[in-house]
Amino acid sequence: MADDDSDQDGTREAGRGAAPRHSRRLSDKILIAFHHACDQGDYEVAEQLLRILEMMLTRRPVSPDTNRRRNMESLVAAHERLWHLRHPDTNIS
C-alpha cells in the first residue's frame, strides 16, 4: 500500500505535518491496555499499567485539565477492578 502512511496506532508520520487520525490520549490508551490485561488475566501487567496511569494522572499537569475529576474516577475504578479480580472470594453483591 503506497498511500498508507500510518503506523500501528493510526497516526500519520510526523514528518508529513498531517494531524493524527485518532485523537485518543495516551492515558486513554493505557487504560484500555489495562482493561485488556485484566480481561486476559495478566494481573501483573495490569498492575504495572495502572502504576503508569496513576503517575501520569497525579503529576502536576502542564495545562489545566477539565477532565481531571473524570480521569481520577477512572483511575479509582481501575484500582477497584484489579482488587476485585485478585480477591474474588471477597466480592460482595
32-72 confidence digits (pLDDT tens): 999 999 999 999 999 999 999 999 988 876 666 667 788 88
Select the more confidently predicted residue: 60 or 92.
Answer: 60
- Quote the pTM value: 0.66
More confident residue, 32 or 10: 32
List, in order, residues 6 or more apart from 30 with CB less than 8 Å away.
49, 52, 53, 56
Residue 75 contacts residue 53 (beta carbons within 8 Å): yes
Cell readout for 83 is 482488587
**Amino acid present at 83:** W
* Measured CA distances, 3 to 12, 58, 82, 93 (Å): 11, 40, 42, 52
